[in-house]
Structure 1
Amino acid sequence: MNPQSTLGELRDIHLPETGGFWPPAPGWWLLALCLLLVIAAAVWFIMRRHRKCRWLRLARRQLGELESRASRNPQWFAQLNTLLKQAARERYRDQHPEALSGDDWIRFLLQTSPDGDADSRQIVEAIVHSAWQPATHADPILAISFARQWLGGQKC
């Protein structure tokens, strides 16, 4: 046998074919699972916060409706007072603010106000007392301003 003839029969070295992109390696499956879990948790937290803050969005919308028909009417002040009580009931469930009235309700509004200002006391008293007085002298614009400030300071 001729050594030259056997060398001529040999072929070049061929590398094995790559595995392709599918199926992915186990590490990629774990990464995809972790990514899906993070996305699901983020969606859950966002939805939970959205549901939790629904009362505040609703109260702000109702306040806008009240503002559009502001008047010195005692019924209007009663509606504003009711709106503030409903919002307080949602925000401060453990303190039961819906049961408060008169000076206790005024004190509660001032304590939970973001400013807690004594300057707001006259406005708050006007909101509370104008709801049941036959003639009101309170300014609805100042009442709306206080209510917007009070709602703005509430966190969900």
Structure 2
Amino acid sequence: MNAADPLAALRPLHLPPAVGWWPPAPGWWLLAALALLSLGATLALWLRARRRNRYRRRAQAELEALYRATRGAGDAAGFAQGASALLRRAALARYARAEVAPLCGEAWLAFLDRSGRTTAFTGGAGRALVLAPYDPVASCDQDALHAACRDWLRRHR
């Protein structure tokens, strides 16, 4: 042994084994559980909203089909009658039957304006919904009525 260098007599240090990535610490398990719960809750809310608005998507598709069918034939009165029935079915799917079923005429148009947050029905092209069944030769702006019905289907709450 060399008395001049006592450190030379020491054995080399043994390093501990490297920390493995598995199993993770309890905090990571908690974070993963919270992430899965939030993902599941988000998915459940999205599916519920999608299910609740299924009637809206179907009504929009039916409105577009009705518009294409009557647009080619020039049947604005038929479009107004079909759109009125379609809006009533959509309103019955969304609102209470006792609130929607008895409405007709100006009360129906006022309901559409109120629920759709618009004035397109009582003061615009939407008036054709109540006039067309009784006056089929009346001038009806089919494009404006289609836009009003489409907007109501999108925006009613």
Shorter chain as normaliser: what TM range? 0.7 to 0.9
1:85 lines up with 2:95 in the alignment: no
Q: How do 1:30-49 and structure 2 match up within 5 A?
A: 30-49=30-49
In structure 1, the partner of 2:150 is 148
When the two chains are superposed, the root-mean-square deviation of aligned CA atoms in Å is 2.7
The 1:82/1:94 distance shift into structure 2, 3 A limit, reads: closer
Q: Matches of 1:109 and 1:86 in 2, distance apart? A: 12
- The correspondence of residues 33-112 of structure 1 with structure 2, limited to 5 A, is 33-70=33-70, 71-72=74-75, 74-93=77-96, 96-112=99-115
Give a deviation string over 1:120-154, Cα, whole Å, max 9, x none: 2xx333212323x3633242223212212322322
**Aligned in 2, Cα 1:110/1:9: closer, same or farther, shift over 3 Å?**
closer
Distance 2:15 2:135 in 1: 97
The aligned residue for residue 123 of structure 2 is 119
Structure 2 Cα separation of the partners of residues 129 and 74 of structure 1: 9
* Secondary structure of the structure 2 residue equivalent to 1:48: helix
Which position in structure 1 is the counterpart of 2:29? 29
- CA drift at 1:26: 1.2
TM score, norm. by length of structure 1: 0.77
| Unmatched 5+ stretches in structure 1 | none
What is the rounded CA distance, in whole Å, between the counterparts of 1:142 and 1:8 in structure 2? 96
Provide structure 2 residue ranges, at least 5 long, that are not aligned to the other structure. none
Q: Which residue of 1 aligns with 2:138?
A: 137
C-alpha distance in 1, partners of 2:116/2:9? 94
Report the alpha carbon displacement of residue 73 of structure 1 after superposing the two structures with TM.
6.0
Query: SS in structure 1 opposite 2:101?
Result: helix
Q: Give the letter for the 1:129 counterpart.
A: L
TM-score norm. by structure 2 comes to 0.77
Instruction: Tell me, yes or no, if structure 1 residue 17 matches structure 2 residue 20.
Output: no
Aligned residues between the structures: 149
Q: Is the contact between residue 59 and residue 87 of structure 1 (CA under 8 Å) also seen in structure 2?
A: yes
- Rounded to whole Å, the distance in 2 between the matches of 1:3 and 1:109 is 102
Shift of 1:38: 1.2
Distance in 2 (CA, whole Å) between partners of 1:111 and 1:27 is: 51
Q: Deviations over 1:25-75 (max 9, x none)?
A: 111111111111111111111111111222221121111111101243654
